[in-house]
Amino acid sequence: MSETKGTRVVVVGGGFAGLATASRLAKEPVQVLLLDRKNHHTFQPLLYQVATAGLSPAEIAAPLRSIVSDRGNTEVLLCEVSGFDLERKIVFACGAEVPFDYLVVAAGARHSYFGHDEWERLAPGLKTVEDALEMRRRILTAFEDAERQAALHGHHDDLNFVIVGGGPTGVELAGTISEIARQALVDDFHSIDPKRTRVILVEAGPRVLATYPPDLSQSAEEQLKKLGVEVRTNTRVTAVKEHEIDMDNEVLPTAVTLWAAGVAASPLGRALGQPVDNAGRVPVFPDCTLPGHPEVFVLGDLAAFKDEQGKMLPGVAPVALQMGKYAAECIVADLQRQPRKPFHYNDRGSLATIGRAAAVAQFPKFKLTGYPAWLAWLFIHILFLIGFRNRILVMIEWAWSYFTYDRGARLITDEVGRLRERRSSPDSEVPGPVPMESVERRRA
C-alpha cells in the first residue's frame, strides 16, 4: 500500500447502499472499487413493473459503469465475491485477493422459501431483472396457453394467478396482474373466459402490508378487492406443487404462482465470520460496522440494525440509501480525524402501490390512500430513478400506458433454449495481492 495512493474503499454490491457510499465518496481523497456480479444497478421498487410487462429492463436498470463514469476515483469490476479475510484486510473476488482499507458489504437479499427451496422452481420470487423477466414470461405464457386452449378446444383450465405474501411486492403484483387480466388484455385475448381468471393473494398474517398502520392495510385490502383480487389473510401455504397450491383450508389449481413471502440475506453475510440472525442478516453496531472492525461496514438488506427504540430497520431502499451515505461520512470523518456519529434513520414515509391509481402512503404526519397516494408514489419513484434518461423514458411509458391501457413490454422471450457457454475466465488462477495502482484509471 502506497501512502500517496490514498485510502482504498472496496464496496461489495451496486444496490442502493453501495451506490450511495460510492456517490458520497466521489469527491473525497479515496479510491473506490465497486464489485458486483451484475453489470447494472437494479431499481428494485419497480421490478414488479417489469414482471407485469409495464416497463422494459433498461428502464429500471442502469449499467453501474455509466452511473459512476464521471467519478474519477471509482472503478467498477464485474466480479463474484467469494469471501473475506478481515484480519489481512482482503476480499476474495474473481479469483484474486483485493486489499482494502475500508470494506462496505452491501450484498442485499434474495427471497426465502422457509426451508422449501424446492418451491422456487414452481413459485419464483422477484429480486433481479432476470427474476422479473421470468415472472413476465410465466404470466404472459399463461394467458397465451389459456387462449390457445379455449380457441382450439372451446374451454380452458382455470387461469388462477396466486401470489404468496401480502407485503408491498405481493400487493403490487396482485393488483397489477388483476388489472392486466381485467382491463388491458381483454382487448387482446378473445377466447379467455374472464370468470375463470382469478387473482388470489395469500397472506399468512392477519392483514396485508403488515408494517403499515391497520387502517392503511384495511384500505389496501379494499382497493385490492375493487381491482378484483381475492385476498386470503390468516392463510398459510402448506405446499406449492406443479399447477396447484395447498393452503390451510383450500387447494387451488394454479396457472402461475409467484412468491413474495420472505427474504434471506446474501450468504456473504455469513462469510464475514460473525453470527447472523434468522434471516441471515449481520447484527451491526450503531455505526453500521462489525464488532471489532470499525473499518468494515455492513449495510442495507444485509444489516440487522436496531434503531434507538430497539426496532429493526426494514429492508427498504431509503434505509439502504441513508446507510450508504452514512458509511461514506464515517470514512470521511475518520480521514479528518473527527468522531463518527451513530447512524439515525430518517423515516420520511412509506408507500405501497396497488394498481393503476391505487396505493397507500404513510408519511410522518399524515396518510394517503387511493389516487392521491398513487400520485405521490408515482412522482417519488420517478424522482428517485437513477439517470435522467431513464426518468424521461419511464415517464413516457407510464403516460402512454396510463392513457391507453397498453402494456408495451409484453414480450415473451426465453433464452433457455439458447446454447451458450461462458467464457472460462483466465482469472481463475489465484494470483497474489493486487496493487491498487493497477486498478487506477489508465487515462488519469
Subset of 43-102 contacting a second copy (CB under 8 A): 56-59, 61, 63, 65-66, 69, 75, 77-79, 94, 96, 98
d(CA 305, CA 287): 9
Judged by beta carbon, residue 92 or residue 384, the one nearer a second copy is: 92
**Least Å from the CB of residue 419 to a second copy:** 4
The footprint of a second copy on residues 275-334 (CB under 8 A) is none
Nearest residue to 200 (alpha-carbon basis) of 180, 184, 178 = 178
The catalytic residues are: 172
| Contact flag: residue 441 with a second copy (CB under 8 A) | yes
d(CA 238, CA 156): 26
Judged by beta carbon, residue 287 or residue 406, the one nearer a second copy is: 406
All three cell numbers of 290, joined, read: 462489525
**Least Å from the CB of residue 84 to a second copy:** 17
**Least Å from the CB of residue 232 to a second copy:** 23
What's 134-146 look like in SS3?
A: HHHHHHHHHHHHH
Interacting residues of 374 by C-beta distance below 8 A, sequence separation 6+? 353, 354, 356, 357, 358, 359
Termini Cα distance of the chain: 19
| Contact flag: residue 134 with a second copy (CB under 8 A) | yes
Nearest residue to 229 (alpha-carbon basis) of 171, 144, 147, 142 = 171
The footprint of a second copy on residues 178-197 (CB under 8 A) is 187-191, 193
Interacting residues of 190 by C-beta distance below 8 A, sequence separation 6+? 147
Residue window 12-41: x/- pattern of binding to a second copy, with contact defined by CB under 8 A: --------------------------xxx-
Are the C-beta atoms of 104 and 272 separated by less than 8 Å?
Answer: no
Are the C-beta atoms of 100 and 420 separated by less than 8 Å?
Answer: no
| Contact flag: residue 406 with a second copy (CB under 8 A) | yes
d(CA 87, CA 162): 48
**Least Å from the CB of residue 117 to a second copy:** 10
Stretch that binds a second copy, among 11-19, 120-128, 202-210, 331-339 (CB under 8 A): 120-128
Distance of CA 152 to the CA centre of its chain: 40
| Contact flag: residue 148 with a second copy (CB under 8 A) | yes
| Contact flag: residue 434 with a second copy (CB under 8 A) | yes
d(CA 107, CA 299): 8
**210, 335, 380, 393: which one contacts a second copy (CB under 8 A)?**
393
Distance of CA 238 to the CA centre of its chain: 26
**Least Å from the CB of residue 188 to a second copy:** 4
Judged by beta carbon, residue 59 or residue 329, the one nearer a second copy is: 59
Are the C-beta atoms of 282 and 76 separated by less than 8 Å?
Answer: no
Judged by beta carbon, residue 56 or residue 219, the one nearer a second copy is: 56
**292, 309, 416, 428: which one contacts a second copy (CB under 8 A)?**
416
Judged by beta carbon, residue 19 or residue 298, the one nearer a second copy is: 19
**Least Å from the CB of residue 198 to a second copy:** 17
d(CA 184, CA 73): 47
**6, 157, 333, 335: which one contacts a second copy (CB under 8 A)?**
157
Judged by beta carbon, residue 185 or residue 368, the one nearer a second copy is: 185
234: alpha, beta or left, given left = phi > 0 and alpha = psi -120 to 50?
left
Are the C-beta atoms of 289 and 265 separated by less than 8 Å?
Answer: no
**Least Å from the CB of residue 190 to a second copy:** 4
Stretch that binds a second copy, among 104-112, 124-132, 258-266, 276-284 (CB under 8 A): 124-132
